[in-house]
Structure formats: C-alpha cells, structure tokens
Amino acid sequence: MKRIPARPDIDHLKKQAKALLVLCRNNDPTALARFRDALPAAANKSDTAIAALGLRLHDAQSCVAREYGFASWADLNGFVLARRSQADDPAKSVLHWLRLVYAGDIAGGSNRARPSVALRLLEESPGLLGDDPYLGCAVGDEALLRRTTERDPGWVHRAGGPLGLVPLVAVTHSGLMQRPEFRERLHACARLLLAAGADANQSVGNRWPPASLEAPDEGERLSALYGAAGQNRDPALTALLLDAGADPNDGESLYHSLENIDCTRHLLQAGARITGTNAFYRVLDFDAIETLRLLLAHGADANEPSMNQPAPEWGTPLLWAIRRRRSPAHIEALLAAGADPTATTSEGIPAYTVALRFGLPEVARLLQQAGGGTQLPVEEEFIAACASDDEASARRIHAAHPGIVGTLSQKQLSLLGELAAQGCGDAVKLMVELGWPIAVPGGDWDASALNGAVFRGDAELTLFLLEHGASWEEPHGYGDNACGSLSWASVNVPVEGGDWLGCAKALVAHGMPAARPDPQSADSVLVNGRRYLFSDEVSDFLLEASMTNAAAAPSVEARP
C-alpha cells in the first residue's frame, strides 16, 4: 500500500489518476497491471481484456484510492480534506475527526459517517483522543470507560465531550460500529454503561440542518436505540438495548431499521407500533418482500392512510407499491392482508388503471382477479400500451385515433417524466415518437423526461430526447434544469453504472453552455453564470469543451 503524504493535495492526486488513465489508454503494461492489482473490475484480467473495459476517469480515481488503502475515491477525498483541516486548524482536530465518526444528525451538518477515513486518521494520529471518556465511547475503549465510571459513577448520565453527547448515544451512534474490529468493543462499552445504570433511553437533540451542534432540535430526539437499529443497523446491539428497557416506539428506530430485517424483527417483537410511523410505506421503497411480510405478520394495516408523503394522491400502501414499481409478489402479499383492490388516488383513478399507466400488466391482472378491474376508455388503453412498450397496440390505437395525445389530461401527460425517472426508456421513446409533449413534467420532483434521464445517467435516452426537441433548460421542481440534474447526479451517483459523462456530451452537443473555471473555488465551475459542482470527469469535459469552442470560434478582424 502506498503511503500518503503528510500534507496530501487532492489536485495532485487527481493528476495521478488522469496520468494513469492516459497510460492505460496507450496500453502501457505497468498501468494495466496497476488496474489489475487494485480495481475489482479488472482483477485477473489480461491486458487486452482490461484495455477493452473502456475504463474512465472515475475508474482511475478508484484505482489510485485503493493503492493508498481507501475503498473509494470519495473516502480518499474525505481523508485529504480532514487531514488538511486538521493542519489548518489544529485546535479543531478532534471535532474534524468526530465528524467522520458520526453522521451529521449527531455531529452537526449534512454529512454521513466515514468510519474507514476516521480509522485511517486515528491510526496516523495515535495521541489524538487523549483520555477523554466521551471520545473513548466513539472507539469502544472499555478500559477507559471502566476507570471513569469507577472514579465518577454519575458520568454515565451526563452529556459531555466536543459533541455534547450522553455516553450511551456516543457508543451506539459511532460509525466505527460498522468496522468488524470495533463492533465487539463498542458492544462491550454499551454493556458496561447499562450495567453502571445508564438509561437505555438516553437521547440527544437532532443536529441536522437547520439545527446545529450549537442549537440542536430538542423537539426531535435521537435515541441510543436509533443509533443501534436505524443508523448502524446492528441486531445484537438493538436486542441488548431493548432487553435493557429501550422504548421501541421512539419515532425513528423502526422506520430506519427496515434495511436490516433482524433489527426490524427485534423492534416488532419488543412492541414497536407500525401504524403512524410511515414504516409500512417506507418498506415499499425497497425490494424487500420478506420485510414487508414481517410487518404484515405483526399487524401492519394494509390500508393504512399515508402520513407526510410528498405526493398525497398515493394514499394507500397498495397505490404506493404500484408507484414504486414493486413486484407482483408484493401486491399479492398486500391483497392477502386485506388491501383494497378498488383503492383510488385522490383524483379518483383506480389502482388497476394506475398499474397499467405504469406499465405493470401483471399487477393489473392481480387487481382484476381481486375485483379491482375496470373498463378502460380508449385513451387509457393507449397509455397502457405505451407504458408497457407494446408498440404494435399503441400504434394501432394511435392510427385509429390520430388526435388522441391531444385529448390526454395534464396528469396523464405527466407520465412521460414519471416513466423517465423510473428508467422506462423504451416506453418513453415510444411515447415521444407518438407525439407526447416532450417537456411535460412529472414524477416526485416535477421534472421533465430529460431531467429524469440525466438524473439516472441514461446517456442514450438523454441523446434521444435532445434529438427529438428536448432542451437542457427544461426546469424541474427544485428550481434548476438539466444542468443542475447533471451536477447533483454526477456527484451523488443515485443509479449504479450511470453514464453522466455521456449525458454531459449530449447536453453540450445540443446547446448547453460549456463550463468555465470558478474564480472563487477550485472545486466548482460556472455554467451559464451559475456555480455548479460536478464529478471530476464531467467537470473536465465541460471545461475542455469551453476551450474547444473558443479555439473553434472564427476570429473577427479589427476594423481600421
């Protein structure tokens, strides 16, 4: 493993990745060997096979990060930022470190925990934590906690340390719980604190913005149990706290536990209430059929009205399951538990029709068999054919009713943006070819099909839409356009394998301005006068496109 410099420079590391990529594209044997040794996608492959992978900048960045011992470029970048922050402001070194150990709702901010980065910093700064028992809670220093408890038994009830945490919360929310070598140590500390009388229901106010470390939201408490079941999703620690009297109805734990069925099971067995938590709707956001069945077995109401949903028209679990494109097995489980197959949206659209609008004919058949079928008017037959990519039927209906698209309601037309956001590219192409208004918004964030395609990194659909008249300036509900969608998605990678570089190339080729450097920040660029942060490869392309355009522009001779 390479040793990282004492004062690492992320720009220098970026240059290393770019140089590696250039060598790889020139079939340099050493560069190909580096990819083979460090990048999982290239492991055990021949030079020829690696060259054929079409590796891109993010692959080279991943390779460089792994050579330095980090699982990802994001972790390497986080390490560099933390190291530089410590060097620039040594007095806040511990606070910088804690913001890698704990998520922003505990440490203040909107970050997520980066335990691997925190551990790497700790290994290189062994005296960083001193003998502060609250910091000992973060790393599972049982001996330190034991000495502190023997000297001052009351400390287990008091908040303290740089983050103002009560000890049990400091233990259960520690992101180092996700590291196998720390898990048992932290469990031991939790057992010690409980044995010393710590309340299993210890909690702190939420520090997520607009709240902060200095001004927590005391009306929204984050419990020790939430740290165990909802943040670290640790079944053993969840069971330990419940056995010690933790309240399973803390308003957070059940909802956030659903990605680990064992944590969910412990909470339900301890009496967690499902109704009123939105947990039943949340489980339908995942492809988690066994967890859905577990909730139903513990009394979930298959017709529970929604709470705080962003789209109130999806007012029953059945409709929400269709909206989230859940499988026929999910629908069967809901119907078997008594879900009403005749449920309608707030606009009166039956679940059967909704399923067909979303291109789910198997789900529609289940609803029809359960008594929820209905006669479709011709426009809904047309929509159903388009949504399921039944081109023959869609074109037959369109030929018989050539003006049919013009008869559709705004809600029906909004399916174009909805289906694009859900990745139904073939259906979207067919709809566009049959005359669907291309800029009509839809979906969770009121976005056009182009915004949805860019968000998913679907370069092929992005290019298709642009070639059929879409504009990069089409707005979405968060106050930006396709450039903003490209920015957020290229950085946050909401869909695995998305090609945001390809999307950028298509957008620039169809009128989106290239970027120029931001004089106020090396991390961001300016597009059309607005500041954006993109992934490195997208930023590089947009800046290079600007230089290419400038070089290609015809010169204008000065007039005498």
438: domain CATH number is 1.25.40.20
d(CA 105, CA 111): 8
Backbone angles phi, psi at 37, to 5 degrees: -80, -30
Residues 94 and 71 in one domain: no
346 domain-assigned: no
Residues 132 and 261 in one domain: yes
Cis peptide before 441 (omega within 30 of 0): no
Q: What is the pLDDT along the chain (560 residues), one digit of tens a residue?
A: 788 877 788 888 989 999 999 999 999 999 999 999 999 999 999 999 999 998 988 899 999 999 998 888 888 888 888 888 777 777 788 998 999 999 999 999 988 899 999 999 898 887 888 899 999 999 999 999 999 999 999 999 999 999 999 999 999 999 999 999 999 999 999 999 999 999 999 999 999 999 999 999 999 999 999 999 999 999 999 999 999 999 999 999 999 999 999 999 999 999 999 998 999 999 999 999 999 999 999 999 999 988 755 456 788 999 999 999 999 999 999 999 999 999 999 889 999 999 999 999 999 999 999 999 888 999 999 999 999 999 999 999 999 999 999 999 999 999 999 999 999 999 999 999 999 999 999 988 999 999 999 999 999 999 999 999 999 999 999 999 999 999 999 999 999 999 999 999 999 999 999 999 999 988 899 999 999 999 999 999 999 988 776 555 554 443 33
End-to-end CA distance of the chain: give it in Å, rounded: 64
Residues 177 and 235 in one domain: yes
Among residues 290, 283, 350, 349, the alpha carbon closest in space to that of 317 is found at 283
552 domain-assigned: no
287 domain-assigned: no
Q: Token digits for 8?
A: 């690492």
pLDDT given at position 554 = 54
d(CA 517, CA 525): 5
411 domain-assigned: yes
Which of 253, 273, 293 is the last residue in one of the domains? Answer: 273
344 domain-assigned: no
pLDDT given at position 552 = 55
Burial of 528 (0-12, 13-18, 19+ CB in 10 A): middle
388 domain-assigned: no
Which of 273, 308, 336 is the last residue in one of the domains? Answer: 273
Residues 95 and 190 in one domain: yes
Tell me which residue has tokens 């044997």. Answer: 29
pLDDT given at position 346 = 87
Residues 409 and 430 in one domain: yes
pLDDT given at position 310 = 46
pLDDT given at position 300 = 96
d(CA 279, CA 274): 6
Residues 257 and 120 in one domain: yes
Which of 273, 289, 313 is the last residue in one of the domains? Answer: 273
pLDDT given at position 555 = 44
Q: Token digits for 179?
A: 């590291």
Residues 32 and 141 in one domain: no
* Enclosing domain of residue 196: 89-273
554 domain-assigned: no
Domain count across the chain: 3
Residues 260 and 120 in one domain: yes
Provide the H-helix boundaries in 338-481.
Answer: 351-357, 361-367, 378-387, 391-400, 410-413, 415-421, 425-433, 449-455, 459-467
Residues 410 and 435 in one domain: yes
Residues 172 and 31 in one domain: no
Residues 72 and 94 in one domain: no
pLDDT given at position 373 = 86
Q: In which order are the strands placed within the sheet that holds 515-517?
A: 515-517, 525-527, 530-532
Q: Count CB-CB contacts under 10 A for residue 481.
A: 23
Q: Are 283 and 258 in contact (CB under 8 A)?
A: yes
Residues 36 and 124 in one domain: no
385 domain-assigned: no
